[in-house]
């Protein structure tokens, strides 16, 4: 048993992640993953703090079956005080985490057209957990919420306004939980003025986005209406010319669905390298002289540096650049290459600090540089924290 357990659910289309936090210590007591849901080799795996990884085949089980198993697996930790759900798209309806009721579920459903793969899976997770834990407060934490403070000039596309007014076509941004957390960490670690600072955060995982944070608020970000816009990612293209679709349709006879799948699943690092979507594989291959891997890395780093420059247009001052996510936290050559492109912004990388992923505060730059930091993201922890806070109100 742990004294104050809070359960976090990240329910995706064919997989779901869960974690249990002890809110009295802040530690993660258990974390697990159910994957390949609905298929013959669906499987649940989990690890309890200090324990070994355990796996359980759950053939042909979907979200409901998997969550029933999760319920059994974590029973001995004690009944959760709250359940926090990661929800991908909150549209303009949600600018903060909320306690879930019927109206909130309807609101998340309303945003499903903006995130057709994600929001229905999120709602499914919520409904199953409501059934399993009817007495326990459930909280939705949105990937988009932190970016609801974007200025109109940053969120509008230059297309006819009725598409925004009538159909919600605008930039929303994602990874908000991560950007908010690491920016707050940077303020604390560098003792910045909470009411007067400018930070750029780069969340670099399988999906990648960067955000300009002014005085604790997101003011611009690289992802848009969907998580396809912006930076080069593992398999996603990021920005392309909107004229590309017509060209591919006419010259290669590709359908809209084929183009969308290509841009989401066959592009980015994978498309450029023809080798892998995984940055670790690419950095290792590049070190051994693989030119295709090096080219993919070069485009990735250039596009990130270029976007950092663009984000600076929303800040009056630049106090820090933060790297986070699997790539940001681990890939020192990528950080080094990006910083080397930004001397105009006052960055100067310290090779030794970069190599060891930062000093005690996470700083990887020289003493006379604008600080760049490596800060581990803790999205699940933030979701647990918000769920716990709201459940106490
Ligand atoms: P997700 O977005 O799915 O949460 P992560 O944040 O775990 O993904 O990031 C995954 C990415 O981080 C992959 O491209 C992976 O190769 C990269 N990564 C992890 N460790 C390293 C490393 N040591 N060197 C380079 N890349 C790494």
Reported as a single tens digit per residue, the pLDDT across 146-195 is 999 999 999 999 999 999 999 999 999 999 999 999 999 999 999 999 99
**In which band, very low, low, confident or very high, does the pLDDT at 13 lie, cut at 50, 70 and 90?**
confident
Confidence (pLDDT) at 2? 84
Cβ-based neighbour number of residue 29 at 10 Å: 19
**Over 90: is that where the pLDDT of 49 sits?**
yes
Reported as a single tens digit per residue, the pLDDT across 95-154 is 999 999 999 999 999 999 888 888 999 999 999 999 999 999 999 999 999 999 999 999
**Over 90: is that where the pLDDT of 347 sits?**
yes
Specify the 3-state DSSP secondary structure of 83.
strand
**In which band, very low, low, confident or very high, does the pLDDT at 234 lie, cut at 50, 70 and 90?**
very high
Cβ-based neighbour number of residue 168 at 10 Å: 16
Specify the 3-state DSSP secondary structure of 104.
helix
Name the residue with tokens 């809070």: 6
In this structure, the residues whose C-beta lies within 6 A of any atom of ligand 1 are: 205-207, 234, 278-280, 283, 325-327, 330-331
**In which band, very low, low, confident or very high, does the pLDDT at 306 lie, cut at 50, 70 and 90?**
very high
Angle in degrees, CA 72, 77, 80, rounded to 5? 85
Dist. CA 44–CA 70, nearest whole Å: 8
The rounded percent of the chain whose pLDDT value lies above 90 is 96
Dist. CA 173–CA 92, nearest whole Å: 11
**Over 90: is that where the pLDDT of 14 sits?**
no
Reported as a single tens digit per residue, the pLDDT across 374-384 is 999 999 999 99
Q: What is the mean pLDDT of residues 3-14?
A: 92
Confidence (pLDDT) at 130? 96
If you take atom 23 of ligand 1, which residue's CA is the nearest one? 330
Dist. CA 332–CA 150, nearest whole Å: 30
* Ligand 1 center to 202 CA (angstroms): 13
Look up the pTM and report it. Answer: 0.96
* Ligand 1 center to 278 CA (angstroms): 7
Tell me the best of 13, 35, 279 to mutate to test the pocket of ligand 1, counting ligand atoms within 8 Å of each CB and taking the most. 279
Tell me the best of 177, 286, 324, 327 to mutate to test the pocket of ligand 1, counting ligand atoms within 8 Å of each CB and taking the most. 327
Cβ-based neighbour number of residue 295 at 10 Å: 15
Reported as a single tens digit per residue, the pLDDT across 55-73 is 999 999 999 999 999 999 9
Q: Structurally, what CATH architecture does the domain formed by 192-374 represent?
A: 2-Layer Sandwich (3.30)
Specify the 3-state DSSP secondary structure of 367.
coil
Distance of CA 325 to the CA centre of its chain: 8
Burial of 77 (0-12, 13-18, 19+ CB in 10 A): middle
Q: What is the mean pLDDT of residues 77-102?
A: 96
What residues does each domain of the chain span? 5-142, 192-374
Residue 34's contacts (CB-CB under 8 Å, 6 or more residues apart) are 15, 16, 18, 42, 43, 44, 45, 58, 61, 66, 67, 69, 70
* Ligand 1 center to 205 CA (angstroms): 5
Could you give the dihedral angle defined by the CA atoms of residues 110, 9, 82 and 384, in that order, rounded to the nearest 10 degrees?
-100
* Ligand 1 center to 132 CA (angstroms): 33
Annotate 246-311 with DSSP letters as a single string.
HHHHHHH---HHHHHHHHHHS-HHHHHHSS-S-HHHHHHHHHTT-HHHHHHHHHHHHHHHHHHHHH
Dist. CA 375–CA 182, nearest whole Å: 6
Q: What is the mean pLDDT of residues 326-355?
A: 97
**Over 90: is that where the pLDDT of 204 sits?**
yes
**In which band, very low, low, confident or very high, does the pLDDT at 21 lie, cut at 50, 70 and 90?**
very high
If you take atom 26 of ligand 1, which residue's CA is the nearest one? 280
Confidence (pLDDT) at 343? 95
Nearest-atom number in ligand 1 for the CA of 325 is 6
Q: Which long-range contacts (CB under 8 A, 24 or more apart) does 263-266 make?
A: 263/228, 263/236, 263/237, 264/228, 264/235, 264/236, 264/237, 265/235, 265/236, 266/235
Confidence (pLDDT) at 393? 83
- Give 5-142's CATH code, choosing from 2.60.40.10, 3.90.380.10, 3.30.420.40, 1.10.760.10: 3.30.420.40
**Tokens representing residue 107 in the block:** 């609101």
Dist. CA 123–CA 202, nearest whole Å: 28
Q: Which residue spans within 1-81 are E strands per DSSP?
A: 5-11, 16-22, 27-35, 43-48, 53-57
Segment (H or E) for 155: helix 152-155
- The average confidence (pLDDT) of the chain is 96
Confidence (pLDDT) at 241? 98
Dist. CA 38–CA 14, nearest whole Å: 8
Catalytic positions, please?
143
* Ligand 1 center to 267 CA (angstroms): 17
If you take atom 7 of ligand 1, which residue's CA is the nearest one? 326
Question: Would 5-142 and 192-374 be classified into the same CATH topology?
Answer: yes
Confidence (pLDDT) at 332? 97
Tell me the best of 223, 280, 355, 380 to mutate to test the pocket of ligand 1, counting ligand atoms within 8 Å of each CB and taking the most. 280
* Ligand 1 center to 359 CA (angstroms): 21
Reported as a single tens digit per residue, the pLDDT across 357-380 is 999 999 999 999 999 999 999 999
């Amino acid at each position: 048993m742990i004294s104050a357990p809070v359960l976090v659910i990240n329910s995706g289309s064919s997989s779901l992640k869960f974690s249990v936090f002890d809110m009295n210590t802040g530690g993660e007591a258990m974390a697990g993953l159910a994957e390949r849901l609905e298929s013959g080799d669906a499987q649940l795996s989990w690890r309890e703090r200090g324990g070994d990884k355990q796996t359980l085949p759950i053939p042909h089980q979907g979200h409901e079956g998997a969550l029933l198993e999760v319920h059994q697996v974590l029973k001995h930790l004690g009944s959760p005080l709250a359940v926090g759900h990661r929800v991908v798209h909150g549209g303009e309806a949600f600018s903060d985490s909320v306690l879930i009721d019927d109206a909130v579920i309807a609101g998340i459903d309303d945003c499903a057209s903006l995130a057709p793969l994600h929001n229905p899976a999120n709602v499914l997770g919520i409904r199953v957990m409501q059934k399993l834990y009817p007495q326990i407060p459930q909280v939705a934490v949105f990937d988009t919420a932190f970016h609801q403070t974007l200025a109109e000039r940053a969120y509008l596309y230059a297309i006819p306004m009725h598409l925004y007014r009538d159909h919600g076509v605008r930039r929303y941004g994602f990874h908000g939980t991560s950007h908010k957390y690491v920016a707050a960490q940077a303020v604390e670690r560098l003792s910045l003025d909470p009411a007067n600072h400018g930070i750029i955060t780069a969340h670099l995982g399988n999906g990648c986005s960067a955000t300009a944070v002014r005085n604790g608020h997101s003011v611009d970000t690289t992802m848009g209406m969907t998580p396809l816009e912006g930076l080069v990612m593992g398999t996603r293209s990021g920005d392309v010319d909107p004229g590309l679709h017509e060209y591919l349709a006419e010259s290669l006879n590709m359908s809209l669905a084929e183009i969308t799948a290509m841009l989401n699943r066959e592009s980015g690092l994978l498309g450029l390298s023809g080798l892998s979507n995984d940055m670790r594989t690419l950095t290792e291959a590049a070190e051994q002289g693989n030119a295709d891997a090096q080219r993919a890395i070069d485009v990735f780093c250039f596009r990130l540096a270029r976007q950092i420059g663009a984000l600076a247009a929303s800040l009056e001052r630049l106090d820090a650049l933060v790297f986070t996510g699997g790539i940001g936290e681990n890939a020192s050559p990528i950080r080094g290459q990006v910083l080397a492109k930004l001397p105009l912004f006052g960055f100067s990388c310290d090779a030794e600090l970069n190599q060891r992923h930062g000093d005690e505060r996470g700083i990887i730059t020289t003493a006379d540089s604008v600080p760049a930091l490596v800060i581990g993201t803790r999205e699940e922890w933030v979701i647990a924290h918000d769920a716990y806070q709201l459940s106490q109100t």
